[in-house]
Amino acid sequence: MRLYNNTDLRKHTMLNDDTGKPLPALIVIATVIKYLKDDLMEFLNDKVAGGIISSDVNWVLTVPAIWNERAKQFMRMAAREAGIDLGHLSLALEPEAASIFCRHSNLRRSTISDNVDISTFLPGTKYIVCDAGGGTVDITVHEVVSDKELKEIDKASGGAWGGTTIDAEFEKLMDTIAGCAVMKSLKEKFMEDYIEFKRSFELKKRDFRNTPTVNLRNISRINDLVEEMTGRSLQDQIQRSVFKDKISQNRDKLSINVDVMESLFGETIQSITCHLSSLLLTHSSIAYIVMVGGFSESTLLQKRVKEAFPGIQVIIPADAGLAVLKGAVMFGHNKRCIISRIARFTYGVQCQTPFDESVHPTNSLRIGRNNRRWAVRSFSKHVEVGQEIPVNQAASQHHYLTRSAQSTISIFASHDKNPLFVDDQGNFLIGEFVVDTENEDSGVYVPYAVEMYFGGTEIQVKALLSNGKETEATFNLPD
C-alpha cells in the first residue's frame, strides 16, 4: 500500500513491519518475488528433464491499475533485484487480467438466476470489473469490441477499500472491548498467536450468513494479556464496554453478534458502492458488474452490492480470488486482448516555449539568443487525462529543437487537463532519458521528435532524430 499513489517513491523508500522495524521497500518486495521465483524454478527442475533456467520463463507481475507510473517502475526494479531479466517480464493490470480471464472462460456460476456468461457478451456490451483485493479496490470499465478483444472506456479508479480495512476495524474492536491496546501487545510478544487469531477472523469474515453470532476461538493468549495490562479479565472488560450485550466470552471462545460483525464492513462497503454508483451514473448503458479478487468472496460485500444496484446483474466467478492470477497467465500469452486504454493522467515533456506575457508569469521568462523570449519549464502536453489511447501505435508525436550535443528529455504527469508548467502543484516527474543528437555545432538547431506509447501497461517513450536514429526511454527511480 505504500506504493499506492506515492508520487515521491524512491529506491530507498522504507517500510515498517508490524512491530515497527524498518527495511527498504525494495528489499522486502524483491525478496518476496525471489522466493516465488525460486520456488517455481525448484518445482519445474524436479519435473522437467534436463532442467530449465529463469530466462526460459516469461514472468508476469500483476499490479493494481490505479497505481501510478513510479509504482510500476518500482515493481520492475524489484523483479530485476529478484533475478528476473526485464526482457522476460511483463506487468499486467489486475482488473484487466481478471476481465481477460472472464472473457475467455465459460463462467456458469453467478449471483443471478439466468447464469450470465461474460464470454458470450456481444460487441458493444459494457461492464464494470470490480477487483476487490486485500489493500485496494481497483475498478475499470470495459467494452467488448470483437473477437474477445476489449477496450477501456473510463480511466482506472478505486481506492484503499480492500479487505484489510475490515481487519483494521476488527483490531479496533478488540482493543475497545479489552480496554487496552491488546492487539499491539499480541503482535509484539506473540506474533504466531497474532497471525493465528487473524487467520481465524479472515475465515469468518468471508462468510457469516445465517448465524446470529460469529465465534472466534483460541483467545487464551489475549485473556492473559488483558489481565496483565488491566488487572481484570477479558470477560470483566467486555461487561464494562458498550458491547456487553453484543459480545461474550465462554472459556477460549469469543462470540460476536452478527450485527457487530457487519458494522465492521460499513464504511468500506459504502465507499465501494458510492464509487460504483458514480460510474453507473456516468455510463448509463452498463448492465453488469463483475466482482473478482479475494475480498469479493465476502458474502456480505456481494449482498450489499446487489442491494445497492437492483437493476444491475452482479457476476461473481467461481474462485473469484484466482481470476487475476489466471487472467495474468492468459495476458502473458496474448497481450493484444486490450486494444485501448483511458489515460489516468495528462502526460508531457518539459520544454521551453515562446514567452507570452498574457499567459506566462515573469519568473518563467528567459532571454535567449537574438533576444528571443522563452518561457522555461513549460509543460508540452502529449496525452490528456481521460483521452482514449491506442495500444498498438504511438499515442502522440511532438517535434522539438535543441542546440545541445546531448539533450535530457524529462517526462511529467499531471492530474490537470492543461498544465502550464511542469512544476505546477500536483505534477510529478516520471523519468528522464538522454538523447545524443551528435550535434557538433552548438549554434545549430537539431530537430527531433518524441513519441509516447501505451502498448504495454507502462509508458514507452522514444526520441527520433532526422537521421533515423532512435532512442528509447528507460526510467529509473531517484535515490
Q: What is the mean pLDDT of residues 287-292?
A: 93
Q: Are 135 and 297 in contact (CB under 8 A)?
A: no
Q: What residues are paired with 256 via a beta bridge? A: 214, 247
Decide which of 39, 59, 84 is a domain's last residue: 84
In 3D space, the residue among 421, 411, 347 whose CA is nearest the CA of residue 385 turns out to be 347
The larger pLDDT score, comparing residue 229 to residue 321, is at 229
Residues 168, 48 within the same domain: no
DSSP assigned state of 122: P
How many of the other CB atoms lie within 10 Å of CB of 439? 17
User: Smallest Cα–Cα separation from 454: which of 342, 350, 337, 329?
Assistant: 342
Dist. CA 275–CA 60, nearest whole Å = 29
pLDDT of residue 270: 97
Pick 302 or 207 by higher pLDDT: 302
Q: Which comes out higher in pLDDT, residue 148 or 225? A: 225
- Residue 402 sits at φ, ψ, to 5 deg, of -145, 150
Q: Return the C-alpha cell found at 441.
A: 555545432
If one compares 111 and 432, the residue with the highest pLDDT of the two is 432
Domain edge (last residue) among 210, 233, 263: 263
Q: Which pLDDT score, from 0 to 100, does residue 68 have?
A: 83
Per-residue CA distances from 78 to 25, 27, 183, 205, 332 (Å): 9, 8, 31, 32, 19
CB atoms within 10 A of CB 74: 24
Q: Is residue 125 part of a domain?
A: no
> Is residue 48 in some structural domain?
yes
Output the pLDDT for position 340.
87
Burial label, 426 (beta-carbon count in 10 A; 0-12, 13-18, 19+): exposed
Q: Which residues contact 169 (CB under 8 A, 6 or more apart)?
A: 264, 265, 267, 268
Residue 454 CA from chain centroid, whole number: 17
H/E stretch holding 53 reads none
Average pLDDT over residues 334-360: 88
Percentage of the residues of the chain whose pLDDT score is greater than 90: 49
DSSP 3-state assignment of 252?
Answer: coil
User: What pTM was estimated for this model as a whole?
Assistant: 0.82
**Cβ atoms of 290 and 98 closer than 8 Å:** yes
On whether residue 149 sits in a domain, the answer given is no
Q: Write down which residue in 49, 84, 119 finishes a domain.
A: 84
Which amino acid is residue 10, in one-letter code? R
Give the pLDDT of residue 113: 37
**Residue scoring higher pLDDT (28 or 371):** 28
| Claim to verify: residue 362 and residue 454 sit in the same structural domain | yes
Q: Percentage of the chain surpassing pLDDT 70?
A: 94
Pair 353, 375: CB distance under 8 Å:
yes
The pLDDT tens digits for 127-147 are 999 999 988 999 999 999 876
Q: What is the 3-state secondary structure (H, E, C) of 128-183?
A: EEEEECCCCEEEEEEEECCCCCEEEEEEEEEECCCCHHHHHHHHHHHHHHHCCCHH
Q: What is the mean pLDDT of residues 166-192?
A: 94
Q: Are residues 363 and 466 in the same domain?
A: yes
Whether residue 291 is contained in a domain is answered as: no
Pairing relationship of beta strands 338-342 and 373-383 according to DSSP bridges: unpaired
Distance CA 368, CA 358 (A): 19
Q: What is the pLDDT of residues 239-259, one digit of tens each?
A: 999 999 999 998 888 999 999
- Does 134 fall in a domain? no
pLDDT value of position 473: 65
Do 351 and 465 share a domain, yes or no?
A: yes
pLDDT value, residue 455: 64
Torsions phi, psi for 48 (to 5 deg): -105, 125
Does some domain include residue 391?
Answer: yes
Residue 222: predicted pLDDT: 94
For residue 280, tell me if it sits in a domain. Answer: no
Q: Name the H helices within 353-404.
A: none
| Residue scoring higher pLDDT (284 or 226) | 226
Is pLDDT above 80 for 284?
yes
| Beta carbons of 204 and 214 less than 8 angstroms apart | yes
360 & 450 share domain:
yes
Total Cβ atoms within 10 A of residue 405: 14
Task: Give the mean model confidence (pLDDT) for residues 328-353.
Answer: 88
C-alpha 203, offset from chain centre: 24
Burial of 180 (0-12, 13-18, 19+ CB in 10 A): middle
- Inter-residue contact 411 to 461 (CB < 8 Å): yes
Q: For 165-169, 364-368, 418-422, which range has the lowest pLDDT when averaged over its residues?
A: 364-368
In the predicted model, what is the mean pLDDT of residues 217-231? 92
Domain shared by 351 and 252, yes or no: no
Residues 347 and 466 in one domain: yes
Spatial CA neighbour of 87 closest among 46, 56, 63: 56
Between 295 and 404, residue with greater pLDDT: 295
| pLDDT average, residue stretch 330-336 | 86
pLDDT of residue 314: 93
Domain of residue 173 covers 164-263
Give 369 or 195, the one with higher predicted confidence: 195
β-pair partners for 161: none
Q: Which of 60-64, 146-150, 318-322, 448-452 has the lowest mean pLDDT?
A: 146-150
Write out pLDDT tens, residues 92-120.
999 999 988 888 776 544 444 345 667 77
Supply the pLDDT for residue 252. Answer: 85
Q: Do 347 and 441 have their domain in common?
A: yes
The CATH number for 404's domain is: 2.60.34.10
Is 383's pLDDT higher than 60?
yes
- Examine the domain organization and report whether 358 and 455 are in the same domain: yes
**CB neighbour class for 61 (10 Å; exposed up to 12, middle 13-18, buried from 19):** buried
Least confident of 108-122, 176-190, 328-342: 108-122
Q: 391-414 pLDDT, tens per residue?
A: 878 888 999 888 877 888 899 999
Residue 252 sits in the same domain as residue 348 = no
Residue 72 inside a domain? The answer is yes
- Domain total in the chain: 3
